[in-house]
Amino acid sequence: MSLRLIPTRYPTRSLTASYASTLKTFAKTPTFYRRFHDTPNAQNTATQQSFQNDPNHMIPTNAPQGARIATPTPASPLSVSSRLTHPGKVSPNEYLKAFNNKELISFFMIGLCTLNKPILKLCIKLFPYVPMAVIKALVYRIYCGGETLEEVKQTGLRLHERGINNMMISLTIEACDGNDNVDPEFIIDETVKSINGILVPHITKMIETCDKNINDIPSGYVALKPTGFVKNAAHVLKNYNNGEEAAFAELVAKASKACQAVYDANKKLAEIYPERTAPFVVAVIDAEKYELQPGVYELQRQLYQKFNKLNEPCYVVGTIQMYLSDSASLLAYEERLAQEKNYRLGLKLVRGAYIHSEKERATIIHKTKQDTDDNYNAGITYCIDSILNQKDKESTIGHLVVASHNAESLKLASSKVYTQENATNVNKSNVVLGQLLGMADSVTYDLIKNYQIGNVIKYVAWGPPLETKQYLLRRLEENGDAVKNDNGWPLVKAAFSTLMGRMFKASS
């Protein structure tokens, strides 16, 4: 395995010594992680089972120094490690009880579609021809939060019933392949409405009603898709500094409008709740296909500079796709730029969703899944250490969303954040774990119910079903990747038995 420390696009000297050493540590001692990654399927099944059934696996046997969790200390109410000795025993399908019958039928169908690779490939091929009514009835409700602000608000309340106290909402109108339906004015107006109409009332309600410390409520996020903010966005992003400067400035202005709404909402909420240290709401820039990313990175930098001021919470979060072989260098480069230009960095680390459609996959994406995993785990380790090891609002990296369904990565992040020594560290509310709505629900359930980890959110795509079709297609593709732990035959069986159990209960 090779970790590509030599960047393809970013200066070598940008790798800070500590980040380089974190990467090297992961490169040298991956055996614990590798045990779970021999094949994609074995990986997730094993990981999932170990996470749910065997709390002792929470301690990596051969994990790098930085990845080790603290010694269990039962005295701390906040310590994950202490809870690991007494996890609640739940049946593996317990999480399905929170879903209604229609949703269970959808899970049943998704299980059938993901039974094996050939069936999934066929479903993906047929997907564009499936009538919208069928998609809406069978898959939309699982992966999407609704068509209107009101429906998304209701989704938020339903998530709250499952212990998930906030969301990353995303008006999903995809345009990276060109989409004539894109009306940037409409998208930005709806996005601003969603900040003030969904996120602000939702976090206010959570603060007022949850029996929790105000800093234990996760921030609410609005995801901004750069391809939605200007006509012909893909061309503009590719040529942002090569003839499309004016259109790019328009795109930045649109994104700034949403960030300004986020900034203003935070200032107002901070007056009402001054004791909160983490941001109330955050704007997140989503990452797109590789060829658009240079424009997206430039957008992120301009927004950081404008909104992430020193000694303030980070209101803007950018995304780095850690499956990219130059992502380690990019992360270090972004940190150095932020230090030079006196702003703070908010980051969402993802593995990356476009592996199936990247034309240059062989040259731009890590050669193996293991390389991506090591790089991802090194990245979150580095960011968490940066956030936790400095005083409130003093670290350059000020906010992290660990956006993943991988139980190993989530476990690693949780075990670093929720320790006895961090019990009173106010910065820990700036590390949030996020999963997509409809994905890895058993992992989300486990984090919340068995390990009482409060900083968990779901990414809630919303919008017209027709426009979300690309998003839904990617979710299907992703189900065919490694996120198989609660898909396929186990999901068919689990959904069926939960439905049957309900029917028998009702008839007796």
Q: Residue 400: in which H helix or E strand, if any?
A: strand 397-403
Using CA atoms of 344, 348, 351, 352 in order, give the dihedral in degrees to the nearest 10.
-100
Are the C-beta atoms of residues 203 and 169 closer than 8 Å to each other? no
Nearest approach in angstroms of CB 101 to ligand FAD is 26
Q: Which of 155, 191, 256, 319 binds ligand FAD (CB under 6 A)?
A: 319
Q: SS3 letters for 72-129? A: CCCCCCCCHHHHHCCCCCCCCCHHHHHCCHHHHHHHHHHHHHCCCHHHHHHHHHHHHH
494 binds ligand FAD (CB under 6 A): no
Q: Which of 217, 235, 214, 233 is nearest to 225 (CA)?
A: 233
Nearest approach in angstroms of CB 469 to ligand FAD is 17
Are the C-beta atoms of residues 440 and 203 closer than 8 Å to each other? no
**Which is nearer to ligand FAD, 82 or 293 (by Cβ)?**
293
Nearest approach in angstroms of CB 442 to ligand FAD is 13
**Which is nearer to ligand FAD, 83 or 202 (by Cβ)?**
202
In Å, what is the CA distance from 259 to each residue of 102, 188, 201, 436, 486?
36, 11, 17, 22, 36
327 binds ligand FAD (CB under 6 A): no
Nearest approach in angstroms of CB 253 to ligand FAD is 21
**Which is nearer to ligand FAD, 143 or 451 (by Cβ)?**
143
Subset of 405-444 contacting ligand FAD (CB under 6 A):
405-406, 434-436
Subset of 293-312 contacting ligand FAD (CB under 6 A):
none
354 binds ligand FAD (CB under 6 A): yes
Q: Which of 199, 314, 350, 461 binds ligand FAD (CB under 6 A)?
A: 350
Of 181-189, 360-368, 423-431, 463-471, the window that binds ligand FAD (rule: CB under 6 A) is 360-368
355 binds ligand FAD (CB under 6 A): yes
Are the C-beta atoms of residues 354 and 344 closer than 8 Å to each other? no
Q: Which of 233, 269, 287, 447 binds ligand FAD (CB under 6 A)?
A: 287
399 binds ligand FAD (CB under 6 A): no
Q: Which of 248, 224, 225, 249 is nearest to 238 (CA)?
A: 248
**Which is nearer to ligand FAD, 172 or 396 (by Cβ)?**
172
Of 100-108, 271-279, 399-407, 442-450, the window that binds ligand FAD (rule: CB under 6 A) is 399-407
142 binds ligand FAD (CB under 6 A): no
**Which is nearer to ligand FAD, 221 or 240 (by Cβ)?**
221
Residue 479 three-state SS: helix
Subset of 193-252 contacting ligand FAD (CB under 6 A):
none
**Which is nearer to ligand FAD, 323 or 382 (by Cβ)?**
323
483 binds ligand FAD (CB under 6 A): yes
Angle between helices 200-209 and 149-161 (to 10 degrees): 30
Question: For strand 316-321 and strand 281-285, is the pairing parallel, antiparallel, or unpaired?
Answer: parallel
151 binds ligand FAD (CB under 6 A): no
Nearest approach in angstroms of CB 483 to ligand FAD is 4
Query: CB neighbours of 207 closer than 8 A, spacing ≥ 6?
Result: 214, 217, 273, 276
Around Cβ 17, how many Cβ atoms within 10 Å? 7
**Which is nearer to ligand FAD, 168 or 173 (by Cβ)?**
168
24 binds ligand FAD (CB under 6 A): no
Q: Which of 153, 276, 351, 416 binds ligand FAD (CB under 6 A)?
A: 351
Nearest approach in angstroms of CB 71 to ligand FAD is 28
57 binds ligand FAD (CB under 6 A): no
Site string for ligand FAD, 244-283 (x = CB under 6 A): ----------------------------------------
Q: Which residues pair with 461 in a beta bridge?
A: 144, 170
Backbone angles phi, psi at 286, to 5 degrees: -75, 150
Written as six digits, the tokens of 104 are 């269970």
* Dihedral of alpha carbons 413, 455, 189, 467, sign: positive
Q: Which of 299, 353, 460, 495 binds ligand FAD (CB under 6 A)?
A: 353
Backbone angles phi, psi at 224, to 5 degrees: -110, 125
Interface size with ligand FAD, residues (CB under 6 A): 29
393 binds ligand FAD (CB under 6 A): no
Length of the chain: 508
Written as six digits, the tokens of 424 are 């009173």
**Which is nearer to ligand FAD, 24 or 369 (by Cβ)?**
369
Q: Which of 159, 281, 365, 400 binds ligand FAD (CB under 6 A)?
A: 365
Nearest approach in angstroms of CB 435 to ligand FAD is 5
Nearest approach in angstroms of CB 322 to ligand FAD is 8
Subset of 448-467 contacting ligand FAD (CB under 6 A):
459
Written as six digits, the tokens of 29 are 């001692």
Residue 293 and residue 442: Cα distance in Å, rounded?
A: 32
Nearest approach in angstroms of CB 131 to ligand FAD is 27
Residue 131 and residue 147: Cα distance in Å, rounded?
A: 18
Query: CB neighbours of 285 closer than 8 A, spacing ≥ 6?
Result: 223, 224, 226, 255, 296, 299, 300, 303, 316, 317, 318, 319
> Which residues would be at the binding site for ligand FAD (CB under 6 A)?
168, 286-287, 319, 321, 323, 350-355, 365-366, 368-369, 372, 403-406, 434-436, 459, 478, 481-483
